[in-house]
């Protein structure tokens, strides 16, 4: 049982997709990021992804890279992550962490899992850790009751989708496009096929991310996925909390009008 | 393994303690710490390489190109006047500088370009630091009719401007990278980002024995010819195995190719020299094995220059080709097992050796290779007059004239 199950049970009961919003911890400041993540939840995000700023984010485009750089130059430390997660969780939000693996490896995988769980975090999305390399994380996540949210991509073979979903808990993250993060005009063509292939292997909720920036795109994805992940679009509006709220509201509206009936 | 002796919290957590280099595991090091989107491409590359390496047609094509195009075997040249500064030990130079395009990089590039064609891909991307790998890649792409895009840190495009011009002349597109430290590490990040988006048509022709499996094993195998030739040549020319073989270590490709020719000869010491830069403080060097700790970068677990939070620390070296905070995973394993030793060499020591080899032997080395030469001088003094050392002269120094002229003040009239 995942502690995220009730979130998806509710969105399913409401005939819509869940909305997941991403912002790096420490951007623009540590407290500023907690405030913004909380505002995103108030304005319609069902789950937030708290990003860990990292020096070499190979899965990220310029928007997220620049935000991570700014956070690191501002003195972000890994221990600040737990403070942000704690503030978001104690405000009633559901928080998962999105992190490249080396910071966790360096901190100590079990120690990271313990501290994240203590802060109220619910799981970790791991863009550069595949289950094949993740035995220690899989054990630590089980020990501390955290979800391990692995990714599948349009290039994933059927066998890899099967082994990846078997190692995943909470929800599966489907990368909508072959490419890095960043808002795009079109998403979803490859994504719907990928979601359909993944559904053959798993009953887990499936979240689709990479590139979404508008309510209409959210509605399109809500037509075939259980959750819509939005990152860069939030990051580029993080300068003003009011703009963040506006986007969250637009997207929350989008996930409530799925373009085709979901299954 | 020696994990008890390390204090890093990350040190004891490796699940792949089995040593299985053919599958990318060098003791605990190596692996595939990459986005899932790239795993299919890595599997395809590994499969195509596994087939090719046993295919007589591929072997003939590869060795034919090495001979008729790259100019192999490269010479083994004794350097007696240089060796006078090494306490009388005999020193032989493995002349990778004489290869077509001027460095060892061509060995790996020809191998991977052939594989690119086998995979039916038409576009090649590469990173480059000194520009030698970029030039070699642009050369092979010109030879084989492949589209070529080279990512190069903006800092390096300036200090290696001549190589940028060479790549463009050869028909490659050179993209200056303006993120992070604007050097090799960031060029690799950009190449990986390009690859994720274009993996159907594009092969990422990685230039060193680092990265995710199969790169460390495959790149090493393409460079093994260095050590194999050197072993036969030294036995022929000096009548015995050397006491040590040496090489500079950036990502580790020329060193691992050299070392592998002697790895089963326990009497031969394997010594790698890393860029010690301006000192041992973080950010002042690129001595990953000497000063770093285990961590992941660009797809593999190896030694890494990183801070307490696992953020990569930017490397520094006067030599663009050694300015990298990571290192190939096999070197991490050779270090931990004690089979190889790694030592830092400062900018100043390297530049002294750069000038010394030029003036004693009439051979201008790459500044990368000058690190190996400087370390070899020290090692020679340790071994004494009976010592015999083969050093990998990984490349020629023409590309470094601008840096050298500034360093030595040759531009002043
Ligand atoms: C001449 C030369 N030697 C050595 C290196 C370092 O690379 P590696 O450690 O992979 O041999 C380079 C890299 O650009 C180079 O150009």
User: How does DSSP assign B91-117, residue by residue?
Assistant: EEEEEGGGSGGGBTHHHHHHHHHHHHH
User: Per-residue confidence at B6, pLDDT binned at 50, 70, 90?
Assistant: very low
What is the C-alpha separation between A125 and A209, in angstroms, rounded? 12
| Helix or strand (DSSP H, E) at B275 | strand B269-277
CA count, 13 A, side-chain hemisphere, A192: 16
Range of B128's domain?
25-63+105-204
In sequence order, which residues have a C-beta less than 8 Å from that of residue B56 and are 6 or more positions away? none
B93, B97, B224, B248, best to mutate for ligand 1 pocket (most atoms within 8 Å of CB):
B248
Confirm if A98 and A49 have CB atoms less than 8 A apart: yes
Find the B267 Cα to ligand 1 centroid distance in Å.
26
Does ligand 1 lie within 6 Å of residue B253's CB atom?
yes
- pLDDT over 90, % of chain B: 91
- pLDDT at A188 (0 to 100): 63
β-partners of residue B149 are B125, B173
Does ligand 1 lie within 6 Å of residue B103's CB atom?
yes
Catalytic residue among A35, A49, A147, A226: A49
Residue corresponding to tokens 């190069």: B152
Confirm if A20 and A170 have CB atoms less than 8 A apart: no
Residue A58 falls inside a structural domain? yes
Query: Stretch B258-281: mean pLDDT, rounded?
Result: 97
Query: Stretch B259-268: mean pLDDT, rounded?
Result: 98
* CA torsion through residues A37, A42, A43, A46, sign: positive
B103, B328, B399, best to mutate for ligand 1 pocket (most atoms within 8 Å of CB):
B103
- For Cα atoms B48, B50, B54, give the angle at the middle one, nearest 5 degrees: 115
The two structure tokens encoding residue A32: 């500023």
Q: Per the CB < 8 Å rule, is A106 touching B306? A: yes
* Interchain CB contact of B305 with A (< 8 Å): no
Chain A hits for B34, Cβ within 8 Å: 128, 130
Q: Per the CB < 8 Å rule, is B36 touching A111? A: no
Residue A79 falls inside a structural domain? yes
Q: How many CB atoms lie within 10 A of CB B268?
A: 21
Phi and psi, residue A183, nearest 5°: -65, 140
Phi and psi, residue B299, nearest 5°: 105, -5
* ipTM of the complex model: 0.95
Q: Whose CA is nearest to atom 12 of ligand 1?
A: B321
Query: Stretch A52-76: mean pLDDT, rounded?
Result: 95
CATH code for the domain of B339? 3.40.50.1100
| Helix or strand (DSSP H, E) at B127 | strand B123-128
Q: Per the CB < 8 Å rule, is A107 touching B9? A: yes
A37 closest CA partner among A90, A77, A88: A88
Does ligand 1 lie within 6 Å of residue B365's CB atom?
no
- pLDDT at B179 (0 to 100): 86
Q: Per the CB < 8 Å rule, is A102 touching B34? A: no
A220 is a catalytic site residue = no
Residue B209 falls inside a structural domain? no
Query: Stretch B255-282: mean pLDDT, rounded?
Result: 97
CATH code for the domain of A27? 3.20.20.70
DSSP string, B24-36: TEETTEE---S-H
- Say whether pLDDT at B265 is over 60: yes
**Claim to verify: residue B367 and residue B302 sit in the same structural domain:** yes
β-partners of residue B245 are B270, B390
Query: Stretch B296-315: mean pLDDT, rounded?
Result: 97
Catalytic residue among A60, A147, A220, A226: A60
What is the C-alpha separation between B51 and B39, in angstroms, rounded? 18
Find the B258 Cα to ligand 1 centroid distance in Å.
12
Name the 3-class secondary structure at B171: coil
User: Per-residue confidence at B160, pLDDT binned at 50, 70, 90?
Assistant: confident
Does ligand 1 lie within 6 Å of residue B102's CB atom?
no
**Claim to verify: residue B92 and residue B36 sit in the same structural domain:** no
Query: What are the tens digits of pLDDT across the range A171-181?
Result: 999 998 888 87
- pLDDT at B130 (0 to 100): 84
Residue corresponding to tokens 């850790």: A129
Q: Whose CA is nearest to atom 6 of ligand 1?
A: B250
Residue B290 falls inside a structural domain? yes
Q: Per the CB < 8 Å rule, is B37 touching A175? A: yes
- pLDDT over 70, % of chain B: 96
Find the A236 Cα to ligand 1 centroid distance in Å.
39
What is the C-alpha separation between B54 and A17, in angstroms, rounded? 51
B94 closest CA partner among B243, B237, B241, B227: B227
**Claim to verify: residue B369 and residue B288 sit in the same structural domain:** yes
Q: Per the CB < 8 Å rule, is A151 touching B35? A: yes
Residue A257 falls inside a structural domain? no
* Interchain CB contact of B9 with A (< 8 Å): yes
Query: What are the tens digits of pLDDT across the range B161-204?
Result: 889 999 999 999 999 999 877 889 999 999 999 999 999 999 99
User: Per-residue confidence at B10, pLDDT binned at 50, 70, 90?
Assistant: very low
What is the C-alpha separation between A179 and A60, in angstroms, rounded? 9
**What DSSP character marks residue A257?**
S
Average pLDDT of chain A to the nearest whole number: 95
Nearest CB to B9; choose among A108, A133, A178:
A108
* Interchain CB contact of B179 with A (< 8 Å): yes
Residue B219 falls inside a structural domain? no
User: Per-residue confidence at A182, pLDDT binned at 50, 70, 90?
Assistant: confident
Find the B296 Cα to ligand 1 centroid distance in Å.
21
**Claim to verify: residue B38 and residue B179 sit in the same structural domain:** yes
**Claim to verify: residue B338 and residue B305 sit in the same structural domain:** yes
Residue B8 falls inside a structural domain? no
**Claim to verify: residue B48 and residue B82 sit in the same structural domain:** no
**What DSSP character marks residue B88?**
T
Query: What are the tens digits of pLDDT across the range A126-161?
Result: 999 999 999 999 999 999 999 999 999 999 999 999
Number of folded domains that form chain A: 1
Q: Per the CB < 8 Å rule, is A58 touching B180? A: no
Angle of helix A78-90 relative to helix A30-42, nearest 10 degrees, comes to 30
Residue A55 falls inside a structural domain? yes
- For Cα atoms A117, A121, A123, give the angle at the middle one, nearest 5 degrees: 95
Nearest CB to B310; choose among A102, A152, A153:
A102
pTM, two decimals, is 0.95
Phi and psi, residue A172, nearest 5°: -100, 140
Confirm if B156 and B183 have CB atoms less than 8 A apart: yes
Find the B118 Cα to ligand 1 centroid distance in Å.
26
The two structure tokens encoding residue B350: 């390297």
Find the B368 Cα to ligand 1 centroid distance in Å.
6
Residue B12 falls inside a structural domain? no
Query: Stretch B82-98: mean pLDDT, rounded?
Result: 97
CA-derived radius of gyration, chain A: 16
Phi and psi, residue A140, nearest 5°: -65, -40
- pLDDT at B413 (0 to 100): 67
Bridge-based pairing of strands B123-128 and B202-204 is: parallel
Name the burial class of residue A1, with classes exposed (0-12), middle (13-18) and buried (19+) by CB atoms within 10 angstroms of its CB: exposed
Residue A263 falls inside a structural domain? no
**Claim to verify: residue B265 and residue B194 sit in the same structural domain:** no
Find the A69 Cα to ligand 1 centroid distance in Å.
29
- For Cα atoms A80, A213, A48, give the angle at the middle one, nearest 5 degrees: 30
User: Per-residue confidence at A187, pLDDT binned at 50, 70, 90?
Assistant: low
**Claim to verify: residue B192 and residue B268 sit in the same structural domain:** no
Q: Per the CB < 8 Å rule, is A55 touching B36? A: no
**Claim to verify: residue B283 and residue B200 sit in the same structural domain:** no
Residue B9 falls inside a structural domain? no
Closest Cα in chain B to A155: B37
- Say whether pLDDT at A41 is over 90: yes
Does ligand 1 lie within 6 Å of residue B257's CB atom?
no
Confirm if B345 and B375 have CB atoms less than 8 A apart: yes
Angle of helix A135-143 relative to helix A109-118, nearest 10 degrees, comes to 30
Query: Stretch B19-33: mean pLDDT, rounded?
Result: 96
Task: Report the length, in residues, of chain A.
Answer: 263
What is the C-alpha separation between A208 and A220, in angstroms, rounded? 11
Q: Whose CA is nearest to atom 5 of ligand 1?
A: B321
Number of folded domains that form chain B: 2
- The distance of B313 to chain A (nearest Cα, Å) reads 8
Does ligand 1 lie within 6 Å of residue B302's CB atom?
no
Residue A262 falls inside a structural domain? no
What is the C-alpha separation between B145 and B164, in angstroms, rounded? 20
- Quick one: how far is CA B268 from the chain centroid? 21
- Say whether pLDDT at B13 is over 70: no
Does ligand 1 lie within 6 Å of residue B245's CB atom?
no
Residue B6 falls inside a structural domain? no
* Interchain CB contact of A68 with B (< 8 Å): no
**Claim to verify: residue B112 and residue B80 sit in the same structural domain:** no
Phi and psi, residue A70, nearest 5°: -65, -40
Residue A243 falls inside a structural domain? yes
- For Cα atoms B357, B74, B63, give the angle at the middle one, nearest 5 degrees: 155
- pLDDT at B17 (0 to 100): 55
Alpha helix ranges (H) inside B160-214: 161-169, 184-198
Residue A208 falls inside a structural domain? yes
Q: Per the CB < 8 Å rule, is B310 touching A127? A: no
Q: Which of A57, A113, A128 to mutate to test the interface with B (most CBs of B within 10 A)?
A: A128
**What DSSP character marks residue B85?**
G
Query: What are the tens digits of pLDDT across the range B352-407?
Result: 999 999 999 999 999 999 999 999 999 999 999 999 999 999 999 999 998 999 99
- Say whether pLDDT at B94 is over 80: yes
**Claim to verify: residue B156 and residue B230 sit in the same structural domain:** no
Residue B7 falls inside a structural domain? no
Does ligand 1 lie within 6 Å of residue B322's CB atom?
yes
Chain B hits for A160, Cβ within 8 Å: 36, 39-40
What is the C-alpha separation between A176 and A192, in angstroms, rounded? 8
**Claim to verify: residue B234 and residue B269 sit in the same structural domain:** yes
Query: Stretch A230-245: mean pLDDT, rounded?
Result: 96
Chain B hits for A106, Cβ within 8 Å: 8-10, 295, 306, 308-310
Range of A188's domain?
5-251
The two structure tokens encoding residue A143: 């020990």
| Comparison of pLDDT for A182 and A49, the residue scoring more | A49
Q: Whose CA is nearest to atom 1 of ligand 1?
A: B395
Burial string for B341-357 (b: 16+ CB within 10 Å, else e) reads bbbbbbbebbbbbbbbb
Domain boundary at B143, B172, B204, which?
B204
């Amino acid at each position: 049982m995942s502690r995220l199950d009730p979130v998806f049970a509710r969105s399913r009961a409401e005939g819509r997709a869940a909305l997941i919003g991403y912002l790096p911890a420490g951007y623009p400041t540590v407290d500023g990021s907690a405030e913004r993540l909380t505002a995103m939840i108030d304005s319609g995000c069902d789950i937030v992804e708290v990003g860990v700023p990292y020096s070499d984010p190979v899965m990220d485009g310029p928007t997220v890279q620049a935000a991570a750089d700014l956070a690191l130059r501002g003195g972000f430390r890994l221990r600040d992550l737990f403070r942000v997660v704690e503030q978001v969780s104690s405000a009633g939000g559901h928080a998962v962490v999105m992190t490249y693996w080396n910071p966790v490896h360096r901190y100590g995988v079990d120690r990271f899992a313990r501290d994240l769980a203590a802060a109220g975090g619910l799981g970790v999305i791991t863009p550069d850790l595949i289950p094949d390399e993740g035995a220690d994380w899989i054990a630590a996540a089980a020990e501390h009751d955290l979800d391990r949210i692995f990714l599948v991509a349009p290039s994933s073979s059927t066998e890899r989708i099967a082994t990846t979903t078997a190692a995943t808990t909470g929800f599966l993250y489907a990368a909508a496009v072959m490419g890095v993060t960043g808002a795009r005009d079109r998403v979803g063509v490859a994504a719907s096929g990928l979601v359909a292939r993944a559904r053959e292997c798993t009953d887990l909720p499936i979240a689709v991310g990479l590139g979404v920036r508008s309510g209409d795109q959210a509605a399109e994805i809500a037509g075939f996925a259980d959750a819509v992940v939005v990152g860069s679009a939030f990051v580029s509006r993080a300068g003003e909390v009011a703009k963040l709220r506006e986007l969250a509201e637009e997207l929350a509206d989008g996930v409530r009008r799925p373009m085709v009936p979901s299954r | 393994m020696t994990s008890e002796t390390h204090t890093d919290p990350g040190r004891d957590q490796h699940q792949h303690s089995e040593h299985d280099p053919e599958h990318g595991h060098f003791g605990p090091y190596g692996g595939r710490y990459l986005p899932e989107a790239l795993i299919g491409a890595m599997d395809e590359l590994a499969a195509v390489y596994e087939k090719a390496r046993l295919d007589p047609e591929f072997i003939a094509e590869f060795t034919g190109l090495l001979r008729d195009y790259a100019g192999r075997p490269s010479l083994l040249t004794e350097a007696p006047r240089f060796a006078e500064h090494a306490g009388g030990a005999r020193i032989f130079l493995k002349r990778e500088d004489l290869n077509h395009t001027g460095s060892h990089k061509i060995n790996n590039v020809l191998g991977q370009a052939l594989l690119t064609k086998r995979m039916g891909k038409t576009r090649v991307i590469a990173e480059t630091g000194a520009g030698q790998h970029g030039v070699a890649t642009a050369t092979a792409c010109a030879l084989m009719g492949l589209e070529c895009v080279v990512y190069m840190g903006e800092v390096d495009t300036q200090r290696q401007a001549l190589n940028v011009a060479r790549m463009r002349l050869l028909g490659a597109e050179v993209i200056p990278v303006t993120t992070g430290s604007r050097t090799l590490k960031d060029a690799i990040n950009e190449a990986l980002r390009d690859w994720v988006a274009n993996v159907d048509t594009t092969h990422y022709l990685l230039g060193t024995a680092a990265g995710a499996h199969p790169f460390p094993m495959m790149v090493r195998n393409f460079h093994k010819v260095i050590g194999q030739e050197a072993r036969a040549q030294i036995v022929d020319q000096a009548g015995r195995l050397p006491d040590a073989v040496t090489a500079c270590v950036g990502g580790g490709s020329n060193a691992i190719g050299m070392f592998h020719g002697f790895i089963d000869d326990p009497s031969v010491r394997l010594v790698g020299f890393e860029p010690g830069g301006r000192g041992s403080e973080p950010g002042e060097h690129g001595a990953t094995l000497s000063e770093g700790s285990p961590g992941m970068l660009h797809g593999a677990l190896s030694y890494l220059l990183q801070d307490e939070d696992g953020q990569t620390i930017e490397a520094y070296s006067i030599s663009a080709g050694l300015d990298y905070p990571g290192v190939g995973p096999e070197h991490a394993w050779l270090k931990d097992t004690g089979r190889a030793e790694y030592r830092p060499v400062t900018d100043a020591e390297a530049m002294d050796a750069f000038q010394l080899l030029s003036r004693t032997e009439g051979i201008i080395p790459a500044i990368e290779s000058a690190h190996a030469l400087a370390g070899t001088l020290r090692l020679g003094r340790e071994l004494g007059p009976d010592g015999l050392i083969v050093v990998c002269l990984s490349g020629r120094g023409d590309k470094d004239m601008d840096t050298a002229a500034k360093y030595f003040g040759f531009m002043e009239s």
